[in-house]
Structure 1
Amino acid sequence: MNKLSTEQKAHLTDSLKSYLDKELAIELGDFDAEFLCDHIIEHFAPFFYNQGLTDAQVVLSQKVDFIAEAIDEIALPLPNV
């Protein structure tokens, strides 16, 4: 799994701070919010990442089945021997 860019991490940290402030009335400083963000990424991201891989496998399998059916449709009949 690739690391997040500095901009992506800053966006997530800001979003987390905003959510905690608005929804739970918890104010976090930048330092604490970044550590909380790191914790969430470390412990939650693998679940989302693996689900994304599973979803991609399903789509790929469907596409391969579609291609296999299309190939079967254009196959020429074999002559009787």
Structure 2
Amino acid sequence: MSDIKFSKDETGRIVSNIKKYFIDELDHEIGGFDAEFLLDFFAREIGPSFYNRGLSDARLVFTEKAEEVGYLIEELEKPIS
């Protein structure tokens, strides 16, 4: 897996949310540089866990849908006399 990279717009939105969280929840103001550094840390340290969970969830949905299609195909079978 390659490093998790965000576009400038995504980074800006996430940094803004991190700064807001620090103010609202921790009553502590941090600058954009610190918030971006924190974002990079979390992306590197816990990002792969979230990524892998997403893959696992997608695999489960795919398996369930493939099984469903299998049942639908069985319903199309013609009886053999």
For residues 3-44 of structure 1, give each alpha carbon's deviation from its aligned partner in whole angstroms, at most 9, with x where no partner exists: 211110111111001101111012111111111111011111
Structure 1 residue runs without a partner (length 5+): none
Pairing partner for 2:33 from 16, 31, 34: 31
Correspondence 1:1-40 to 2 at 5 A:
3-40=5-42
2 CA distance for matches of 1:5 and 1:40?
16
Q: Equivalent pairs: percent with the same residue? A: 35
Ranges of 4+ aligned residues in structure 1 off by more than 3 Å: none
2:78 corresponds to 1:76: yes
| Corresponding pairs, count | 79
Q: Which has the larger radius of gyration?
A: 1
Pairing partner for 1:43 from 28, 37, 45: 45
Asked which structure has the greater RCO (Cα within 8 Å, sep 6+), the reply is 2
Structure 2 residue runs without a partner (length 5+): none
* TM-score normalised by the chain length of structure 1: 0.89
* TM-score normalised by the chain length of structure 2: 0.89
The root-mean-square deviation of aligned C-alpha atoms, in Å, is: 1.3
